[in-house]
A and B are shown apart, each in its own frame.
Chain A
Amino acid sequence: MINWWWRQKNLTDNVVTGFASTVLPAGNSLVEQSNFLALDLELTGLNPSKDYIVSIGWVPIRQQEIVLAEAKHYLINSPISVGQSAIYHGLHDNQLKQGIDIKTVLTELLRQYAGYVFVAHHSKLDEQFLRVACKRSFGKAPRFKFVDTMQVEWQRLLRQGKVVKHDALKLSSCLQRHGLPVMPNHHALEDAYSCALLLLSQLRLGGNNMTLADLYLLSR
């Protein structure tokens, strides 16, 4: 029993520490050579301590190409009801009953994409939920390195001297501004894909020699 517990603890430790100990690319490396993982979560609400993740979607970007072969979308069985949030993501409790355990998903995420720079639109929320979920699953959470496409867009517009209205930073508005085709529909994978497109467009606008440090600066 003790042994079993010990092995489990070790395993989970390995997931988190393995992820945390993988070195991210240096700040002076070019963005075009860096690996990114665009991801999006759908939630039961906006409070990380009370609400839960109901679905997660991600798609990696390597050498500036979105690799759809590794695109993933998981429904997660949440301990609480989706309640009113269903009107946003369209997921219902009965669907989520067939969802998988958050721990399995997180294990895959942390194992496969260590060393990736994570990307999300309004990433603060996704980061908080991921951290809480990690703590619940593994007892501790690693530090994530996130680039926030919303923040990047805001900075970009500010630098152009534009007045930024609140609506202007919604994912759909950003996609439209960049002439990108997808209409986000609160589906975790679709939104992650849109976010990846937006990032690629933002990177191209950043010029040829953009480094990760430049990108982090824009993403603050």
Chain B
Amino acid sequence: MEVADVSRFLAETTPFDQLSDSELSQLSAQINVFYCQAQGKVRIDSDRLLIVRTGIFSLYSDQQQLLTKLQSGDFYGYQQLLTGLVDNDTLLCEEDGLIYYLDAKAFHQCRYQYKNIDIFFQRLFSRRLHQYRDQQQNTRFTLKISDIIQQHKIAIAPEKTVQDAAKLMSDSRVSSLLVEEKDKLVGIITDRDLRNRVLAEGLPASTQVGHVMTRQPHSIDRHAYLYEAVQQMSQHNIHHLPVLEHGVCCAMISATDIIRSQQDHPVYLIGEIHRQQSVAGLERCSQQIAALAITLNKQQVPAHEAGHVITTITDALTQRLIYLAKQQLGEPPCVFSWLAFGSQARMDQSLNADQDNALLLEKEPIGAVEDYFSALAEFVCHGLAQCGITLCPGNIMATNPELRLSLKGWSGRFTRWIATPTPEAILKSSIFFDLRVIDGSKGLFNALQQDILQRTTGAPLFLYHLAQAALQRTAPLGLFKNFILEQDGKYKKGLDLKKRGISLLTDLVRVYALSAGITEVNTRRRLQQLAAQGIIDSKDSQNINDAFDLMAQLRWEKHQRDLMQGHDVSNLLDPVDMSGLARHQLKDGFAVINEAQGRLKQRFCRDM
């Protein structure tokens, strides 16, 4: 005899939703129901399929590592049922709930009878395999500097002779040395320096290292990605980079180190970009981006890292275009910074991003200065467009004279937005508050950023309007936790992962970051900073981060599917194309947005 509630639930649960009523009632009659209370341990020792009906359960490995959370419609035990191998996992109840157990016989019968159900569980199993596989295995494409550098650094004092340096190099079998004075990095010296600056110049072996070393070398943070090192080396045409940790030098990384670690890294594209001598060459390079994206996806690089890679490529294209422009136009009449806004600034660019850039100039844009930078902007923006990064439909580009301003001009612009924040102005301008310098002077940019942050931290009215703007759109979740689908002219119905998901979180996190004067613009790093400074509860920060990652991941995968099927890349995801698992997680993610928006409202929109 079936219980209606049980068969009703199974009828709504993938993969059982494909069974007929009579099959469902047969299946539901073979279920045992167990009630579990928070903190309680769930029996998983038996040879049964566990189906979560209600509640939340955390799955821990035998090393007490949290593997995943299970909730309504999730399964456990199929691993053991499929392979016969026993996991020593623990399932802990976090929120009171009901569990259905289906015994092995009924499970197998169901699997043999219905191919689709069998396939569903096989897929679930293989996904679980790669999900929890040792993380070391697939980090090849996103290695960090810290993953490949030697632990000990080899340094020499500037007053030592070049002969000492040569001896130390050959003893340690390295091609370069850090030069340190009282534990402080003052320069580097390479074997090429010994050749070019000592031997070729006929200097004696007693020449002091400090005399021939490269002073104030470029450096890179120990936690940066490897491809960022490639990027810097290519950009400045150097082969050695001192590695810093918390501003203190800890090692040296050379081009050879990188090549050794990544023989076939697709991000060599960046190196390739920096070697191009024409826009046409850059265009050829950019045609490899889609293929690179697919490779990254095949390697299961998480979306946020892939976004970082894509952004770095856009940065490289921009830098090279500026280089080429300078070759054509001559040296610029004054110092400038090339700025990026929006997703490029946040380093979470996707494949369908358009341009958002501007120029910050040392001098007022009049006369010759204006002529030069107008030409430069024209060259770079159209070059980028040729490379597939489409022109901004909102004209937020350096080609727009309103976006080629001096420090004073920009500062005045931002001050106006902050001091008299009309809702429309805020809505339009919120994109400008995520900005990053891509090329040119960092100092000039830092001055502007400091200026902006100083103004935003003490501006409750501005933050109020910014928060209001961030709250204008809500997650597409209905009253009964159902998805609200959107219609698009070209594509059918779906969930707009960007407009109703990722952007909401980006906007929300920006308000907090600006209120706290945080210089980071990347959403994940902003969240880390906010949690570190205690501005957001660390658990909330983690939740937002998870929701953000999830939606970014779903969008990334959607883009991949579009690419492979030869469609235009779209942010609209039809829930039907999602696995039951992903659907639940996405609903959860949307719920996180709702909660976070509630807190944002409380924090910034209360006293007004």
Q: What is A's interface to B at a CB cutoff of 8 Å?
A: 57, 59, 64-69, 71-73, 178-182, 187, 189-190, 193, 196-197, 200-201, 204-205
Contacts and interface: CB of A to CB of B under 8 A. Distances in A.
Contacts of B2: 68, 71
B34 interface: yes
Contact of A204 (B1, B29, B40): B40
B367 to A, nearest CB: 73
A179 B4 CA distance: 18
Contacts of A178: 96
A200 B4 CA distance: 19
Contacts of B98: 180-181, 197
B77 to A, nearest CB: 14
A67 B1 CA distance: 11
B36 A190 contact: no
Interface centre among A68, A72, A179, A196 (most CB of B within 10 A): A68
26 contacts: A57-B1, A59-B3, A64-B34, A64-B35, A66-B32, A66-B34, A67-B32, A68-B3, A68-B28, A68-B29, A68-B33, A71-B1, A71-B3, A72-B1, A181-B98, A182-B5, A190-B3, A190-B4, A190-B5, A193-B5, A197-B35, A201-B35, A204-B35, A204-B37, A204-B40, A204-B96
B5 A181 contact: yes
Contacts of A204: 35-37, 40, 96
Given A68-B3, A189-B1, A189-B3, A205 B37 contact: yes
A44 B96 CA distance: 37
A65 B34 contact: yes
A71 B4 CA distance: 12
Contacts of B124: none
Contacts of B101: 65
Nearest to A204: B37
Binding site secondary structure of chain A: mixed
Interface residue tally on B, bucketed by range: 20 to 34
B435 to A, nearest CB: 47
Given A179-B96, A180-B98, A65 B1 contact: no
A68 B35 contact: no
B3 A181 contact: no
A108 B74 CA distance: 37
B54 interface: yes
B53 interface: yes
B234 interface: no
Contacts of A197: 33, 35, 98
B30 interface: yes
B5 A65 contact: no
Nearest to A59: B3
B516 interface: no
B448 interface: no
A18 to B, nearest CB: 24
A196 B3 CA distance: 12
Given A68-B6, A201-B37, 5 more contacts: A68-B29, A69-B31, A190-B5, A201-B96, A204-B96
Contacts of B9: 181
Interface in B95-129: 96, 98, 101
B30 A69 contact: yes
A190 B28 CA distance: 13
